Amino acid sequence: MSDEDIKIHRGLNNVYFDRTKTTYINGKEGVLEYRGYNIHDLSEKSSFEEVSYLLLYGKLPTKNELDAFNKSLKESREIPSKIIDIIRSIKESHPMDVLRTAVSALSAFDEEASDKSYDATMRKGIRLTSQVPTIVMAHNAIRGGKDPIEPSKELSHAANFIYMLDGEIPSDSTASLMDKDFIVHADHGSNASAFAARVCAGTQADLHSAITTGISVLSGPSHGGAAENVMKMVKEVGSPENAKDYVKNLQKSGERVMGFGHRVYKAEDPRAAQLQEGVKFLSQEKGDPSWYEILVAVMDAMKPYQRRGIHANVDFFAGVIYHLLGIPTDLFVPIFAVGRIPGWTIQVLEQYKNNILLRPLLSYTGEHQQEYIPIENRK
């Protein structure tokens, strides 16, 4: 078949490659559901632990089921001391590089690492959900010349995460905002990192390999890296009255405004709406409304883009929330990974259930029938 006869789907845009019962996204109407439950209900009424159970087991837990699930999560928070040694030896690297390396290395200490059965993969997914936050915060402490703060066995997933930052137990409102952030990041269909994790699982590789792949793919600025860039942008904008010119200048130079646009959402990203309220609230609580005001001014300046389906995405608000919580900018992408472990795990389990090697084609447009010239005769 010649190249002209081949329909190329660059970026696999609008290509369905399988079916899922986990996450539903309607990009035109801005709808996101996990297992049929609307993200707004889950963000406002549920917890990250309950949402993780929902994603992994396909139903909301009973009280006893949630208690048992919470117990497993809390018991899995520690990481082996040899992982701490590895983190120490690469402490100067970007937190995403450290996370990728540490998760990959964790497989050496997980007795079930190569067991791809449903039960073992589920247990590993639960362990990784708890170990990933510990890795992120252990690295943050070590690079700051401190000893890692032992994870709490009492606090919720979100509260424990903030606790490991500086040893202070966060207020309920702060913990609940972090919890909401983890909920909206828990899964998002076949985005680049989940797709890559599925490609990995499609070869029958194990969960640690698939999650290491997901972390690698998440690190790019077109995916998880956007929250970090939004914070840089907000600092560059400096004050609300500069927002219009800032956007205009980016537009002139053909650059993108970070935290806007989405491959699937052409209406408002429902996750962004949830986090917007959070930034507003936190800005008031911290007595520092300037960050929220800059975000609102950038949104106003971006209004003309709405006609083209370009709206604020989840990363637009996430960065400022983390900043107001005192979290260093380069931890923003790792935080995305902290929330996404249950999503990657269930997608790997779905992939295993009806597994197939994911192997698309490339249409070759290079030369043919080239004559091989010995190296001494080449010019």
Catalytic residues: 223, 262, 315
34: β partners: 23, 37
Nearest to 259 by CA among 190, 315, 192, 202: 315
Question: Is 263 a residue that touches ligand COA (CB under 6 A)?
Answer: yes
- Rounded to a whole number of angstroms, the minimum distance from the CB of residue 288 to ligand COA is 24
Q: What is the pattern of x (binds ligand COA, CB under 6 A) and - over residues 285-314?
A: -------------------------x--xx
Extract the tokens encoding 44.
């406002």
Nearest residue (CB) to ligand COA, 89 versus 222 = 222
Residues 116 and 332: beta-carbon distance below 8 Å: no
Phi, psi of 230 (to 5 degrees): -65, -40
**Which of residues 53, 182, 246, 260 is near ligand COA by CB under 6 A?**
260
Residues 63 and 88: beta-carbon distance below 8 Å: no
Query: Which of these ranges, 119-127, 145-153, 255-263, 277-285, lies near ligand COA under the rule CB under 6 A?
Result: 255-263
Phi, psi of 58 (to 5 degrees): 85, 5
Find the binding residues for ligand COA in span 218-237 (CB under 6 A). 222, 226
Nearest residue (CB) to ligand COA, 116 versus 262 = 262
In the complex, residue closest to ligand COA by CB: 261
**Which DSSP category does 26 fall into?**
E
Question: Is 195 a residue that touches ligand COA (CB under 6 A)?
Answer: no
> Cα 113 vs. chain centroid, distance in angstroms?
23
Phi, psi of 26 (to 5 degrees): -115, 100
Question: Is 256 a residue that touches ligand COA (CB under 6 A)?
Answer: yes
Question: Is 257 a residue that touches ligand COA (CB under 6 A)?
Answer: yes
Nearest to 23 by CA among 62, 72, 58: 58
**Which of residues 315, 321, 322, 332 is near ligand COA by CB under 6 A?**
315
Nearest residue (CB) to ligand COA, 252 versus 359 = 252
Nearest residue (CB) to ligand COA, 173 versus 222 = 222
Residues 258 and 314: beta-carbon distance below 8 Å: no
Nearest residue (CB) to ligand COA, 73 versus 314 = 314
- Rounded to a whole number of angstroms, the minimum distance from the CB of residue 257 to ligand COA is 4
Please state at what angle helix 332-353 crosses helix 314-324, rounded to 10 degrees: 130
Q: Is the C-alpha dihedral spanning 320, 322, 328, 330 positive or negative? A: negative
Question: Is 66 a residue that touches ligand COA (CB under 6 A)?
Answer: no
List interacting residues with ligand COA (CB under 6 A): 222, 226, 256-263, 310, 313-315
